[in-house]
Structure 1
Amino acid sequence: MAANGEALTTQGYIQHHLTNAAVGEGFWTWHVDTLAWSIALGLVFILSFRSVAKKATLGVPGKFQCFVEMIVEFVSQSVKDTFHGKNALIAPLSLTIFVWVLLMNFMDIIPVDFLPSFAQWVGGLMGYDPHHVYMKVVPTTDLNTTLALALGVFALMIYYSIKIKGFGGFMKELYAHPFNTPWLYWFNFILEVIALIAKPMSLALRLFGNLYAGELIFILIAGLIGIWQLPAHFIWAAFHLLVIPLQAFIFMMLSIVYLSLAHEDH
């Protein structure tokens, strides 16, 4: 890529790839590339799984139907083994989290210059300066995405904790645990609130950190090697293929565990 007709330095190249296409200012800044790719991949998940469900047969399934059934069975078994309450929402929620995060992570495999360069070309046709057209194609390398997912899980945790235990029971878990002694209630409350807030933060930062680090290495490879990046890109991608499904699985499993704890009525 270039800026103002001159070749970018490696630092400028990296910075360009780490910049989101954004509108708005301050708190109300919207990362339109993150939103667009997240919504598009969510629709890919919904429409493809819906299509398989509508066309499912009792006979010999097709390859894609078999693949979808394997994912559904895997998630279903994970929920059965981990979630100890009764809630019909948990299994479809877990499936959505796993597949959606997996699809967003897999965008990391696409060579870093392909889609941004296409976006620059389209921007140029529309009259924009191509050097000021940005696009990040991996939604999970944007902390806004991972934090939004984690806060969604956190909101469900609080909702079901209050629904199952009542507001008094939920508050008692905060101030009477681990030391059920009145003069230590204030200490318990501080510890439990910190632990409660740490759950969504750890969910968000773990997913973001792993994917951001992987994406940064892809960008470094492309910035240093240029057009010859593809062999090195796919070598690193082979290792990164272990991280992509693992991080989706960890996010799903921790979500199930946290929601299971919220359903425990002591």
Structure 2
Amino acid sequence: MASEGGATGYIVHHLTPLSVGEGFWALHLDTLFFSAVLGGLFLGFFKTVVGKATTGVPGLAQNFAELLIEFVDTQVKDTFHGRSKLIAPLALTIFCWVFLWNAMDMLPVDLLPMLGGWMGIPYLRVVPSTDLNGTFALSLSVFVLIFFYSIKIKGVLGFIKEFTLTPFHHPVMIPFNLILKTVEELAKPISLGLRLFGNLYAGELIFILIALLPPAIQPILGFPWAIFHILVITLQAFIFMVLTIVYLSLAHEDH
């Protein structure tokens, strides 16, 4: 496929989403499809494990699920200072879902696009976290929860007071406080979405560039980068989860 349109055409082809619509209303069908499939895989795995769970000697799948749950639960207990039955399941879902998003980057770059081409699909970007729409959608969901819990815990008046009288507790400083708080709150979803997108987009681009090299050189460079990238995709899922817990913990604090 690298010969189709030269190196530039090859890169553009792999980084162009399958979309419908134009502008703001465009839908990236490949991002939606793979996100739904990976989300279903996550739910199906845990549902199967729960259905077959035993108090006796657990199987490999149950051990793995319990390890994940214990790992996430530890992070929540260490970071989250409020009380909520939602935070731990939310953190587990975010970590597993983002990790599965990122893990699609480990597939050969030509595999699924080639299969899609045989089915008449012109473009197919298989890593949802290389789509800014996908990462921002997830971060905006966290952003909505931050405001929801801030209002729920502090009340409407408490939320307005915190927004207008922080960090300077004086009516004269309300305009300045509003600017600072607006920037602070907007930075949360922007940083979450851009950090995940930037790291995975760069990683995918490197895999594509390696695929452009002669076949004899590809394994020499591709294997070490793949090993390193396993750490990247895990770390990015962990960071997204931890920052979500931190932001929601701050929303639960009633000063």
User: One fold, TM greater than 0.5?
Assistant: yes
Counterpart-to-counterpart distance in 1, 2:69 and 2:107 = 26
Q: Which secondary structure state, in structure 2, belongs to the residue aligned with residue 7 of structure 1?
A: coil
1:142 is the counterpart of 2:131: yes
* CA 1:159–1:214: 2 relative to 1, 3 Å: same
Counterpart-to-counterpart distance in 2, 1:215 and 1:172 = 44
Q: Please, what TM-score do these two structures have when normalized by structure 2?
A: 0.96
Counterpart-to-counterpart distance in 2, 1:134 and 1:239 = 28
Counterpart-to-counterpart distance in 1, 2:157 and 2:215 = 61
Match of 2:46 in 1: 49
Match of 1:87 in 2: 84
Match of 2:36 in 1: 39
Deviations 1:47-71 (A, max 9, x none): 0111001101111111111111100
For structure 1, which runs of at least 5 residues remain unmatched after alignment?
none
Q: Residue type matched to 1:116 in 2? A: P
For structure 2, which runs of at least 5 residues remain unmatched after alignment?
none
Match of 2:203 in 1: 214
Question: How far apart are 1:229 and its partner, in Å?
Answer: 3.0
Question: How far apart are 1:231 and its partner, in Å?
Answer: 4.5
1:26 is the counterpart of 2:23: yes
Aligned residue-pair number: 255
Matches within 5 A, 1:1-266: 1=1, 7-123=4-120, 133-225=122-214, 229-266=218-255
Q: Residue type matched to 1:187 in 2? A: F
Q: Which secondary structure state, in structure 2, belongs to the residue aligned with residue 15 of structure 1?
A: helix
* CA 1:24–1:227: 2 relative to 1, 3 Å: farther
Q: Which secondary structure state, in structure 2, belongs to the residue aligned with residue 225 of structure 1?
A: coil
Question: How far apart are 1:234 and its partner, in Å?
Answer: 2.3
Q: Which secondary structure state, in structure 2, belongs to the residue aligned with residue 187 of structure 1?
A: helix
Q: Residue type matched to 1:196 in 2? A: E
Counterpart-to-counterpart distance in 2, 1:160 and 1:82 = 16
Q: Which secondary structure state, in structure 1, belongs to the residue aligned with residue 238 of structure 2?
A: helix
Deviations 1:204-245 (A, max 9, x none): 000000000100000111123358634432221101111011
Deviations 1:124-181 (A, max 9, x none): xxxx7xxxx1111100000011100000000000011011101111111111111112
Q: Residue type matched to 1:240 in 2? A: H
Q: Which secondary structure state, in structure 2, belongs to the residue aligned with residue 112 of structure 1?
A: coil
Counterpart-to-counterpart distance in 1, 2:217 and 2:28 = 30
Q: Please, what TM-score do these two structures have when normalized by structure 1?
A: 0.93
The answer to whether the 8 A contact 1:14-1:223 is kept is no
Counterpart-to-counterpart distance in 1, 2:218 and 2:20 = 31
Q: Residue type matched to 1:72 in 2? A: I
The answer to whether the 8 A contact 1:111-1:230 is kept is no
Q: Which secondary structure state, in structure 2, belongs to the residue aligned with residue 135 of structure 1?
A: coil
Identity %: 60
